Amino acid sequence: MELREMLLLMFTAIFIENIIFSKFLGTCPFLGVSEKPVTALGMGLSVTFVITVSSAATWLVYHLILVPLGLEFLKTVAFILIIASSVQLIEMFLKRYVPALYQSLGIYLPLITTNCAVLGVALLNVQNEYSFIKSVVYGFSSAVGFMMAILIFAGVRERLKFARPPKPFRGLPIALISAGLIVLAFMGFSGINLG
């Protein structure tokens, strides 16, 4: 894989086909953990680790075990098991070495297992027939796009604490309006043709 091709894939995954803003995957942690930038960063780093590791592991399992045995139909079940194992590893690491972040992520940390962004990236790697290197690069880049999106949104929500919107817009409504405006800003990347 050439450097140019890798950079184009990374730019596309981060900006043009952002996993949250373009594919609308992973919106639960996007809305739930984005109230504080520190918590959003922790979630972003956790998701980056899980997506990158699971992209590599799911590619290996799919191409080295499922395809040769003719068991491609089991890919979703196999991918969920791999993702759950990755999440368990990061959960044990955070609980032991970063207990404050472990506490602040709360229920959202185990929910990474069911985060559709993680499973979606693994399935997109198979659907797009990426090589091992492309799968890992796409997984990492998609996760970086997720982290960037959640950090931007956390910054906006931090600023909204000082705003005085009309009473019906306070809380989640103004957060959703803000998310929509961020998505509109990112739609400007969709017109870029890198081919």
The pLDDT of residue 76 is 95
- CA atoms of 167 and 190, how far apart (whole Å): 35
- CA atoms of 150 and 164, how far apart (whole Å): 23
Tens digits of per-residue pLDDT, 144-193?
A: 999 999 999 999 999 998 989 999 999 889 999 999 999 999 988 887 77
Long-range contacts of 74-78 (CB under 8 A, 24+ apart): 75/123, 75/126, 76/119, 76/123
Burial of 63-76, coded b for 16+ CB within 10 Å and e otherwise, reads eeebeeeeeeeebe
The pTM score is 0.89
Domain boundaries, the chain: 3-187
Q: Which residues, including other chains, have CB under 8 Å from residue 191's CB and lie 6 or more apart?
A: none
